[in-house]
Structure 1
Amino acid sequence: MIESWKGTYFSDMEARRMDWIRFNEPYGDDEIFRRAAEISKLRLFDEDSIEEMLQRRLSSLDLYSGSFSPYFMQSATAALEVMALAMDFKPGDEVIIPSFTYPATANSFLRAGASVVFADIEEDTCNLDPRSVERVITGRTRAIVPIHYGGVAADINALAEIAKASGSVLLEDSAHCIGASYKCQPLGTFGAMGAVSFHCSKNITSAGKGGCLFVTDEGYRDTVSEIIYQGTDRVAYREGKVSSYRWKRPGGEYQMPSFSMAYLEASLGRLTQVTDRRREIWLRYHSQLSQLETEGYLRLCRVPKDAGINGHVFYILLNDRKERDSLKAHLHMHRIEALTHYEPLHVTAIGRSRGRCEGDMNVTNSVAGRLLRLPMHMGLEDPDVDRVCQTIFNFFGYGR
C-alpha cells in the first residue's frame, strides 16, 4: 500500500555518518522530553489535567485561537473513526472520498456503516476534484471528505458549496495539516469536523502516534464527547451538567495517553518554528526544481492562492512510472531516500467490492504512478536540499 524504505534500517546518527539523506526524521529533542516528563510527573498522569494544559497550549497559538473544540486522540485514524460514528450513518448512506488517500479514510466510514464513493483528484494539488464530486454525488450522499494532500488546501470553497447544495456534510481528513491554513484559518476547521495527525511522520508528533478531532459544528460536540468516553456522558458530568454519568450510546477508548499529551504540549511550543523552517525547505526545493519543470522534465505542486502551506510533503511528478522508478533508484544510489506514496484505493480488491468510483479515474491512476516524495524534515540543512536537487539535475543530464 504505502511504500516503506527497503534498504538497511539504521539510526539517524548512523545515517549522517554514512552521508545518507533520510526521507524523514521524527521531530523532538531533549528539551521536549524533559518538559514532557516534568508535566507527567507533576500531574501524576492525571489525564484530565494534562488535557486541559494541552488545550490551553493549542489555543494559545494564533492559528488555533478560533472557535472549535479539539479532542485529542490515540491517532488520526481514531479521530476519523469517531468522526464517522458521530455521523450516525444509515444503510445506503454514501461518503465521497478521494481514491488517492490512506486506507484509514475509507476504513473509518466503512466501519461506521457507510458506503464509500471514490472521486478523482486534481493534478495540480493531488486533492479532491470538485468537478468529479459533482458527477458522483447522489441523493444518498451524506458527507464529502477531502484530504489536503501534503498540507496544501483542497478547493475548500467549491467543496463547501457542493456540500451545502446537496444537503451533505463537509468533513476533512487533515492528517497532513498541522500548521497549514487557508485564508489564515487552520485546515481541519472548515467542515463540521476535521482530523489531524501527530504521528511521528508528521511535522509535530506526540511521541509516536496521536491525533486530534476538531469539532467546528457544535451540534456534534456532545455526541463526540460521549463516543470517546465509552459512550457515556462523562464530560457532561465533569462540566456539572448532569449529577451522574450514564451509558448513552456505543463508544470506545479513544483518548490520547497522558505522556503523549504531555509530549505534544511541549512540541506545540515549536510549531511556528517548525512550520517556518519546513516552508523554507519546501520553497528552496521549488525554486531550484522549477527550471526542470519549465523544460518539461517534471511537474511541481501548484499552491492555491491564500493557501498557507506547512511544508509537510514536497513531491515531484515525473512523466511516467518508469522514469519515476529510475529516478528513485538513482537517488538511492547517491544515498538519498525518496519514496512514492498511495496506491489508489479504487484499484484494490476491497475498493472494488466495497466502493464505487466516478469514471475512469485518469488523474488518480496517472499521479500514483508518477509521484515521488523528496526528503523533508527539520534535520535537513540547505546544502542537503541543494544536493538532492543537483542529483535530480544530474539524472536528467541537465547542467546548471
Structure 2
Amino acid sequence: MDTIPFNRPPQVGNEVFYIRRALKGHLAGDGPHSKLCENWFEERLRCYRALLTPSCTHALELAALLIDVRPGDEVIMPSYTFVSTANAFALRGATIVFVDVRADTMNIDEGLIEAAVTEATVAIVPVHYAGVSCEMDAVMSIADRYGLFVIEDAAQGMMSRYKGRFLGSIAHLAAYSFHETKNYTSGGEGGLLIVNDEQFSQRAEIFREKGTNRSQFFRGAVDKYSWVDIGSSYLPSELQAAYLWGQLQYVEKIKTDRLRAWQFYSEQLQPLAAAGKIELPKIPAVCEHNGHMFYVKVENLDERSRLIAYLKNEGIGAAFHYVPLHSSSAGLRFGRLSGEDVHTTSESERLVRLPLWFGISFSDLRKVTDAVFKFYQ
C-alpha cells in the first residue's frame, strides 16, 4: 500500500452521528435527511429541483430520459470524460459526437461545438474537468441558436463557479457526483440531478420514483398514487443522505482545505514549470475552482509512465486519468469524432494526477513535491 495514497474519502467527523440518527427511523429513499440535503442544494443553487440519486451516472441517465433522447439522436460532448457521460445517452440509442478538448483546461473546445451540430443533434453535454468550468456562455449561446438542450456534467464541480454562478446551475439540467473520489461524498457512492428548467421538474420526480406519482401523493396533491409514466428506482438510501448531510455542514471547510493543498502544489512546483520540465494547471480568470484535483503535464506518455512508477516506488500514489472515449472500442461503436483529435489524446497522455484529499498534511504534500523534483534531477 502506498504511504501517501492517491485518495482518501473525506470525513469531517459527524457523519456517524447522522447515520445513527437515520438508523432509528426511515431508511429507504426520500427520508428526512434526503429532504434536508435537497433543500440545501435548492437554496444554494437556486434551482427548481435538486434530487438525490444513487450515483452521478443515474443522474445523467435521468437527464437523458427527461430530454427524451431517442435512437437516431446525436449528443455532443468531449471525448475526454468518464464513460458515464456517454453511456447515459448511448443507452437511449443516441449517437455520441465527440469533440476535441482545449489544451489549457482539458474541457470541451467551445470553438468546435458548432461544427459538430447536425439536424439530428438534441443536446450538448459540457464536462467541467477538474472542477474548472467550461466556457458556458459560448455553450449556452450555441444551444440557444440551434434549439438544443444543455446538460452540465458537473461531477467534479460542486462549489466551483463560472462568472459567479455555481456549476450545475447554468444549463437546463446538471449532475453532481458524491463518489468517494469527489470533494464531498455520500458514503462512497451517490449523485444529484439538478433541474434548472421548470418544464422538467414534475417528470423528474416521476421518473425517479419508478414512473409513479408517489411524491405527489405524499404531498397530498393526489388522493392515491399509481403508475403514470416510465421510470426506474433512482432513490439513494437514507444512510447515504445522512452521510452527505454530515458533510454539507462543512462544505467551506472542505473546499478551503483542498484549495490549500492545490495552492501548495502550484507554488512548490513552479520552478519545474519555469524550467520547462512540466506544465501546471491553468485556471481561466472567469472560473473559481474547488481544488478537486491537481495534475501536472509531462513531456510524453513514456515520461508519464516513468514518473508514476517512480512515485509508486517512493510510496506515493499517482494516477493518469481517462483514455479518450472516441478511440475506445465502445466509443467506436456508439459514437464518432467530429473534426480532428488535435489535443485530446496527446494532452491526456501527458497528464499525471497527484495525491489530493481533504486533510492531507503539509508534510505529505512536501514529500510528493520533493519526489517530483528528485525524478527530474
Q: TM-score, normalised by structure 2?
A: 0.96
What CA RMSD, in Å, does the superposition of the two structures yield over aligned residues? 1.6
> Is residue 2:19 matched to residue 1:36?
yes
What's 1:12 paired with?
A: none
From 286, 290, 293, give the equivalent of 1:306. Answer: 286
Native 8 Å contact 1:68 1:189 kept in 2: no
Structure 2 partner of 1:150? 130
Match of residue 27 from structure 1: 10
Q: Distance in 2 between matches of 1:251 and 1:56?
A: 23
The correspondence of residues 179-258 of structure 1 with structure 2, limited to 5 A, is 179-258=159-238
Q: Name the counterpart of 1:359.
A: 339
- Once the two structures are TM-superposed, the CA of residue 383 in structure 1 deviates from its matched residue by 2.1
Is 1:171 equivalent to 2:166 in the alignment?
no
Asked if structure 1 preserves the Cα contact closer than 8 Å seen for 2:22 and 2:242, the reply is yes
Corresponding residue for 2:36? 53
- List structure 1 segments (4+ residues) > 4 angstroms apart after TM superposition: 42-46
Q: Is the 8 A contact 1:36 1:265 kept in 2?
A: no
| Percentage identity across paired residues of the two chains | 34
- Number of aligned residue pairs: 377
Distance 2:238 2:284 in 1: 38
The residue aligned with 2:316 is 336
Q: Deviations over 1:121-169 (max 9, x none)?
A: 0011110101221221112111000110111111111111111111111
- Equivalent residue number for residue 11 of structure 1: none
**Aligned mates of 2:303, 2:359 — CA distance in 1:** 28
Letter in 2 for 1:392: V
Question: Quick one: which of 303, 320, 330 aligns to 1:323?
Answer: 303
Correspondence for 1:135: 115
Counterpart in the other structure of 2:370 = 390
Partner of 2:246 in structure 1? Answer: 266
Q: Separation in 2 of the partners of 1:382 and 1:230?
A: 47
Paired with 2:142 and 2:273, the residues of 1 have a C-alpha distance of 33
TM-score normalised by length of structure 1: 0.90
1:257-296 alignment runs, 5 A limit: 257-296=237-276
Q: Which moved more, 1:70-79 or 1:290-299?
A: 290-299
Structure 1 unmatched runs, 5+: 1-7, 9-14
- State the distance in 2 between where 1:176 and 1:383 align: 26
* Post-superposition CA distance 1:147-199 (Å, at most 9, x none): 10111111111111111111111111111112212223211111111010001
- Matched position secondary structure for 1:172: strand
How far residue 43 of structure 1 moved from its aligned partner, in angstroms, is 4.7
Q: Is the 8 A contact 1:40 1:262 kept in 2?
A: no
- Evaluate the alpha carbon distance shift between residue 76 and residue 44 of structure 1 in structure 2; reply closer, same or farther with a 3 A threshold: closer
Equivalents in 1 of 2:10, 2:303: separation in Å? 32
Distance 2:45 2:74 in 1: 33
Whole-angstrom CA distance in 2 between matches of 1:41 and 1:305: 48
Paired with 1:122 and 1:30, the residues of 2 have a C-alpha distance of 39
Q: Distance in 2 between matches of 1:228 and 1:47?
A: 11
Match of 1:95 among 75, 100, 107: 75
Distance (whole Å) between structure 2 residues aligned to residue 252 and residue 207 of structure 1? 22
What pairs with 1:67-146 in structure 2 (closer than 5 Å)? Answer: 67-146=47-126
Which shows bigger deviation, 357-366 or 39-48? 39-48
- Which amino acid in structure 2 is aligned with residue 335 of structure 1? G
Letter in 2 for 1:160: M
Whichever residue aligns with residue 77 of structure 1, its letter is T
Q: What is the one-letter code of the residue matched to 1:22?
A: P
Letter in 1 for 2:279: R
Conservation of the 8 A alpha-carbon contact between 2:45 and 2:169:
no
* 1:280-307 alpha-carbon deviations (Å, 9 max, x no partner): 1111111122222222111122111131
Q: Which residue of 2 aligns with 1:4?
A: none
8 A Cα contact 1:148 1:176, kept in partner: yes
